[in-house]
Amino acid sequence: MRLVESILTRNPCYTAGRKITVKGLMLHSVGCPQPKASVFINSWDSPVHGSSCVHGFIDGNDGTAYQTLPWNHRGWHCGSGNKGSGNNTHIGVEMCEPACIKYTAGSNFTCSDMAAAKAVAKRTYDAAVELFAMLCKKYSLNPLEDGVVISHREGHSRGIASNHGDPEHLWAQLGMGYTMDGFRKAVKAAMGGTASGTDRYTKIMGNATATAEQMKAYLKAKNPSVAQSVLDMVPLYLSEGKAEGVRGDIAFAQSCLETGNFTFSGSAVTLSQNNFCGMGVTSNGVKGNSFDTPQLGIRAQVQHLKAYASTDALKNACIDPRFKYVTRGCAEYVEWLGQKENPDGKGWAAGAGYGEKILAILEGILGMTVSAPLPYRVRVSIPDLNIRKGPGTGYSRTGKQTGAGIFTIVEESDGEGASRWGLLKAYQEKRNGWISLDYTEKVDG
């Protein structure tokens, strides 16, 4: 977890300066389609933002946690109920939400990109676990004790918060399988507790979290000369994984490990074998299995992972030549794919830390931020978005503002004062008209 201090010193909640004795932690979800913590921080760090203030935000794009109030300050994060207010006892932390959801009524929403949304939800959940574990240690709190770690929804049920359904509403509608009971156990485990030895393990079976675009971006970053034919087959990991209920992003991460990010440097197999997981390489000098097409090779790999992770029957006809040699269900978790870490010594590979190596690659994939293809259109809703001569607040303003409307972005850049800057099409020739993309929303079509 990356923790950045970004105290909202101009917010009236901060200037009020009230302190609390921390007795618990409350988890929130922002309730709007905005993954960027910087948008909230920039908006709330103002003397006119007098309605709310929280102790922290978790960015949906990279999982960075931002501390926005001193931990022992009284926040304005949960309102009150018939038994008082959790503001007097609990630290409040907001998780940002995916950009690809659209709220329809109350806490209900539609989602245009389920894989991308799940990636954001997983990223914020994992970061929240680490942040809450740190805070529980700091204030000597036991997350499994009644009322210590709660959601905004649970706070309302206990009579100490306003009527909100977050963050469970987000997890449930995205099918994440997360619960607050599971979250509390994960926090305990992250503190070094023993709530459950597998609470923090990664199941092989389930829906992929990474998108095909993230997988391609990771591969191009690690192997700039990767063949286009390899990039073209990346979506097959997701489709073949979905067919068998296996996380295709885990299969892809395993392939990156086994093939040296598809360089095949030091690998016992070659690209032409369509064997991207070292299947059949049982000893030094053994060439391994070959498959007629990339799809069949990926299908065999997915089936082999399912053999380890589950006792369920295959959906497609078995083409994995080594399926029959696996003790079904002996490695439910990625961490158990290594024989040295597997409780029964029956993992996929003999090398130490095999599963952790796969998970490290998966973390890198999930950390990839994929920009929209250029050019693209954005909607500006505020009337006074400044146009600057360069990508950053260090550049002078042009003296003009966009006004509300639809605009075309032809280039993106990093720069001070925003998570990302965009060049307006009208200024393309001289490249002297940039706006903060934190205040925009991409327009489809």
Q: Are the C-beta atoms of residues 269 and 291 closer than 8 Å to each other?
A: no
Q: What are the pLDDT digits (tens) for 248-296?
A: 999 999 999 999 999 998 888 899 999 999 999 877 777 899 999 999 9
Q: Read off the pLDDT band of 198 (50, 70, 90).
A: low
Inform me whether the pLDDT recorded for 193 exceeds 60: no
pLDDT value of residue 196: 44
pLDDT value of residue 199: 56
State how far the Cα of 206 lies from the Cα of 285, in Å rounded to an integer: 35
Q: Read off the pLDDT band of 200 (50, 70, 90).
A: low
pLDDT value of residue 413: 83
Beta strands in 18-141 (DSSP E): 24-29, 56-58, 65-67, 90-95, 101-105, 108-111
Inform me whether the pLDDT recorded for 140 exceeds 70: yes
pLDDT value of residue 194: 40
Q: What is the CA radius of gyration of the chain?
A: 24
pLDDT value of residue 444: 64
Mean pLDDT of 137-160: 95
Inform me whether the pLDDT recorded for 52 exceeds 80: yes
State how far the Cα of 42 lies from the Cα of 31, in Å rounded to an integer: 17
Enumerate the β-bridge partners of residue 412. 422
Enumerate the β-bridge partners of residue 73. 19
Other C-beta atoms closer than 10 Å to the C-beta of 24 total 21
| Mean pLDDT taken over the chain | 91
What one-character DSSP code corresponds to residue 210?
S
pLDDT value of residue 367: 82
Domains and CATH numbers, the chain: 3-190 (3.40.80.10), 212-366 (1.10.530), 376-443 (2.30.30)
State how far the Cα of 230 lies from the Cα of 80, in Å rounded to an integer: 55
CA angle 259, 261, 264 (to 5 degrees): 40
Tokens of 131: 């942040």
Residues with Cβ < 8 Å from 125, sequence gap 6 or more?
95, 171, 176, 178, 183
Burial of residue 239 (number of CB atoms within 10 Å: 0-12, 13-18, 19+): middle
pLDDT value of residue 328: 93
Residues in the chain: 445
Inform me whether the pLDDT recorded for 227 exceeds 90: yes
DSSP string for 272-336: GGT--S-TT--STT------SSHHHHHHHHHHHHHHHH--SPPSSPP--TTGGGS-TTS--BGGG
Q: Which residue has the tokens 């925003």?
A: 418
Q: Are the C-beta atoms of residues 339 and 350 closer than 8 Å to each other?
A: yes
pLDDT value of residue 50: 84
pLDDT value of residue 195: 40
Residue 81 phi/psi, 5-degree rounding, is -135, -165
Angle subtended by helix axes 248-259 and 354-366, to nearest 10? 110
Q: What are the pLDDT digits (tens) for 293-315?
A: 999 999 999 999 999 999 999 99
| Pairing verdict, β 24-29 and 149-151 | parallel
Other C-beta atoms closer than 10 Å to the C-beta of 51 total 9
State the chain's maximal CA–CA distance in angstroms. 72
Q: What are the pLDDT digits (tens) for 329-384?
A: 999 999 999 998 887 888 999 888 999 999 999 999 988 876 667 888 999 988 88
Other C-beta atoms closer than 10 Å to the C-beta of 138 total 11
Other C-beta atoms closer than 10 Å to the C-beta of 391 total 24
Q: Read off the pLDDT band of 445 (50, 70, 90).
A: low
Q: What are the pLDDT digits (tens) for 66-109?
A: 999 999 999 999 999 999 999 999 999 999 999 999 999 889 99
State how far the Cα of 410 lies from the Cα of 408, in Å rounded to an integer: 6
Mean pLDDT of 5-11: 94
Give the distance from CA 223 to its chain's centroid.
Answer: 23
